[in-house]
Amino acid sequence: MAVRPILTAPDPRLKVVSTPVETVDDGIRKLIADMTDSMYAADGIGLAAIQIGEPKRIIVMDLDQRDGNKNPRHFINPVITWRSDELASFEEGCLSVPEIWEDVERAERIKAEYLDSDGKKHELEADSLLATCLQHEMDHLEGILFIDHLSKLKRSMLLRKLQKAKRLKDAG
């Protein structure tokens, strides 16, 4: 399919709340293929449609990609139906917040419902990295970046760092 550019903070489009997919059709499947290609090209393990400028409630993910294998998963209109009270902290990064890694606390376990690329409904229980990644990507659907979970001071320092890097890249 096609590798599409990934938006980076502080692009205001990343703050848009995504809309539900009404019908899973060939257009949605092409978008999923483009998202998957874009995620692999950027060496990521997850990508939300808004990160390539499409405000649709779609996520692609491939945790096996870290080990050099390909096992892409697609989540359309995902909804978390339950979160554990126990929290887990993982060091998170994001293709839209390049070269920044910070610890974020999220629910250790979750249950979610979603549609696959054929429009079939699924339920999922997740923990560990899968739970963290799904929550991270679902935040994107609400216009939330992982750095929004950090203190205001830390977030503003990181955003200044990103803006400076972007200016240097654009000038070079």
pLDDT > 90 in the chain, percent: 78
Q: What is the pLDDT of residue 111?
A: 98
29 domain residue, yes or no: yes
Q: Which pLDDT tens digit goes with each residue over 29-46?
A: 999 999 999 999 999 999
Q: Which residues lie below 8 Å from residue 132, measured CB to CB, with a gap of 6+?
A: 88, 90, 92, 104, 106
48 domain residue, yes or no: yes
- The tokens for 45 are 């393990």
Contacts from 149-158 at CB under 8 Å and sequence distance 24+? 149/104, 149/105, 150/102, 150/104, 154/102, 158/97, 158/100, 158/102
2 domain residue, yes or no: no
**What residues are annotated to the active site?**
137
Phi, psi of 14 (to 5 degrees): -70, -15
3 domain residue, yes or no: no
Tell me how many domains the chain contains.
1
**Judging by DSSP bridges, how do beta strands 109-115 and 121-127 pair with one another?**
antiparallel
3-class state of residue 13 by DSSP: helix
7 domain residue, yes or no: no
26 domain residue, yes or no: yes
Q: Which pLDDT tens digit goes with each residue over 53-71?
A: 999 999 999 999 877 789 9
131 domain residue, yes or no: yes
Which structural domain range is residue 155 located in?
Answer: 12-171
CATH of the domain at 154: 3.90.45.10
CA distance 149 to 120: 32
4 domain residue, yes or no: no
What average pLDDT values come out for the chain (172 residues) when binned by 10 residues?
A: 90 96 97 97 96 98 86 97 96 92 95 97 95 97 94 85 77 75
